[in-house]
Amino acid sequence: MSIKEARDMGIEQFDVILISGDAYVDHPSFAAAIIGRTLWDAGFSLGIIAQPDWKKNEDLLRLGQPRLFFGISSGNVDSLVNSFTPNLKRRSSDVYSPGGALRRPDRAAIVYSNRVHALFPAVPIVLGGIEASLRRFAHYDYWSDSVRQSILADAPADMIIYGMGENALRQVALRLEKGERIEEIRDVPGTEVKEEVARWKKQDAAHQDHILIPGYAEVSTDKKRYAQAFAMHYREQDPFHGRAVVQPHPKTIIIQNPPARPLQTDELDRIYELPFQRAAHPSYREAIPALEPVRFSITSHRGCFGSCSFCALTHHQGRIVQSRSIDSILREATLLTRMQGFRGIITDVGGPTANMYSLSCPRWKNGTCPDRLCSADCPTLDKDHSRQVDLLRRLRQIPGVKRVFISSGIRHDLIMADSSAYLEDLCMHHVSGHLKIAPEHISLEVTQCMHKPPKDVLDAFRERFMAVSRNTGKQQYLLPYLMSGHPGCSVRDMIELAEYLRDHHLYTEQVQDFTPTPMTASTAMYYTGLDPFTLKPVHVPKGREKRIQRALLQYRNPENYDWVREGLQMAKREDLIGETGRCLIPGHRTGHPGSGRRKTGKSQNRGNSGNRGNKESNGRTKAREKRI
């Protein structure tokens, strides 16, 4: 991060310089660290400029000019998701900065690219990270309430590395090292490039194996064409049968190459066993808040076949689960026991969904099914959790490890389809008082829109979880993540959910609305009012109705009384206003939640506390079960 460090290592000029909107933390949960370590492992020298002051030149000049290229990322999170709440209020802190300080510009990837290009016009710029990856096509931007161009059309960059990026970035670096120019590198899987309009028109006949989707001029003015374009590029995100996707823009042509192939187990093992220090750079005088929850956690796998409508993982990590070997994970856990500050607690072993570790499908050798989504009902999908049971058992046996927790969310429908002792082991050894699941809603129409399991699967799981908890002699709770304001959800649906919370003695925490983040099917629904795959109309709650829906999830909070009452009257459910036990709110506003009714739990609104609530959960609500 400094010239002195470079000289101490004998480096006169870096091969690559990475610029990130995050503080530098050498931990495999932080993108700059995992990409940087991968390039070092491939033999390239690499410097990092973390959170530069974009208003001045000094920070961007301090490491000099790289020999091959600048890599630019906004950080672990889209800069606008990081800077604003779902209600578009600016946040007061940034968990990826020292002491939570605000050091990241809005639209950071574009801002950094403009400044770097002005200072080093001849040096290639490669964009990566969540912000670039999920804004690679023309997209609806919630923060400006408009359709924006691909970020590659807006930024003076040469290429985007989308997805996880290790192999693609290594290939690009190797080809530049061999003397190819960046504009000659057009075919690396997992990259997106751009072409001059005139040149593309001359060469179009030669590009047979691609799909042309509606361009920016169409999708920015025609919502049906936007929905169609989304469905078209969504279907090409498979590394085996996906084709190149082309989208015209006014001054350039955007070309997404097919996704990079999934990493093999030995490749994943090698990456996660690189010598990460699991610490912030020593130059920082204040802690990085985002580090502490994950410092002693372990990533066991990548990918998620859940395909939830509000999640962009299909476009980023893909649907094919890639798992590390048990031996590799055990070696990492053993190293944790020797680290300063380790007190015997591994805080998490998981990935996007904890219990997808080692799950597989024989069809994945040739790609995911193009005509259907994976589900717990699929007879081809191997849903046996035995290998994860074995992994967790062996982790518990490592000297120096006292507890191993599962803090990542789990798919309860997969547990219901599993015949191993996974849930029993989970409840006995790996639940720290509560277990996170993500039903999101209980209304059938809404869960179908979200592509989530129906309520009867949740009910069956709750019964099984309660029985297992009783058998273990432990008092444990479910923490279901719930969501308000999702497309397809009406006030009546939210009242149904509120009654479910009442009837099952649940109370809500950390309430937020659905946030339309780039590159999700739900965002396409939010903007167009259409299901992008069927083109059927979808109800989209906005404005006052969206506020009412959020309030209904915390109907016990006295501050929400007027909103809840308005929602109940809107749905003609005045029967839920009164003094009986089934009423959601009393007949008259009081200063105490639940006055006139049997108390079923204390309402808590934790607002923006924690990382998951606003950023990773896309506006979810946690609800805790009061009694098991």
Burial 35-68 (b: 16+ CB within 10 A, else e): bbbbbeebebbbbbbbbbebeeeebbeebeebbb
Alpha-helical segments (H) within 47-157: 58-61, 79-83, 108-119, 129-133, 151-154
Q: Say if CB 191 and CB 257 are below 8 A apart.
A: yes
For 247, the 3-state DSSP assignment is strand
Band of residue 621 on the pLDDT scale cut at 50, 70, 90:
very low
Q: Order across the sheet with 253-256: list the strands.
A: 46-50, 16-20, 69-73, 125-127, 159-161, 191-195, 253-256, 244-248, 210-212
pLDDT for residue 315: 86
Q: Summarize the confidence of residues 475-499 as an average pLDDT.
A: 93
Percent of the chain at pLDDT > 90 equals 80
If pLDDT is split at 50, 70 and 90, which confidence band does 208 have? low
- Encoded amino acid at 444, one letter: L
Q: Is the per-residue pLDDT at 309 higher than 60?
A: yes
pLDDT given for residue 400 in this prediction: 97
Containing 161, the helix (H) or strand (E) segment is strand 159-161
Contacts 24+ apart (CB under 8 A), 170-176: 170/38, 170/39, 170/42, 172/69, 172/126, 173/15, 173/16, 173/39, 173/42, 173/44, 173/68, 173/69, 174/42, 176/68, 176/69, 176/124
Q: Give 561-602 pLDDT, tens digit per residue.
A: 999 999 999 999 999 999 988 999 999 887 644 443 433 333
Distance CA 613, CA 622 (A): 8
Q: Per-residue pLDDT averaged across 69-98, rounded?
A: 94
Would you give the distance in Å from CA 203 to the centre of its chain? 37
pLDDT > 70 fraction of the chain, expressed in percent and rounded: 92
Using the structure block, give the residue that is written with the tokens 């990533």: 299
d(CA 220, CA 246): 16
Question: Given CA atoms 294, 297, 303, 307 in this order, what sign does their dihedral have?
Answer: negative
Q: What is the pTM of this model?
A: 0.91
Note the pLDDT of residue 207. Answer: 60
Radius of gyration of the chain measured on its C-alpha atoms? 25
**Tell me, what DSSP letter sits at residue 263?**
P
φ, ψ of residue 413 to 5 degrees: the values are -70, -35
Mean pLDDT over residues 48-54, rounded?
A: 96
Mean pLDDT in residue range 408-427: 92
Residue where the block lists tokens 């504009």:
183
How do the domains of the chain map onto residue ranges?
3-194, 296-432, 434-628
CA 276/CA 191 separation, integer angstroms = 26
Please state the rounded mean pLDDT for residues 100-104. Answer: 95
Specify the CATH class of 3-194 in words. alpha beta
**pLDDT tens sequence across 121-132:** 999 999 999 999
3-class state of residue 474 by DSSP: coil
In the predicted model, what is the mean pLDDT of residues 216-244? 96
Domain 296-432, CATH class in plain words? alpha beta
| Torsional sign, CA 128, 134, 138, 139 | negative
Segment holding 481, helix H or strand E: strand 477-483
Q: Residue 48: left (phi > 0), alpha (psi -120 to 50), or beta?
A: beta
Report which residue type is found at 271: I
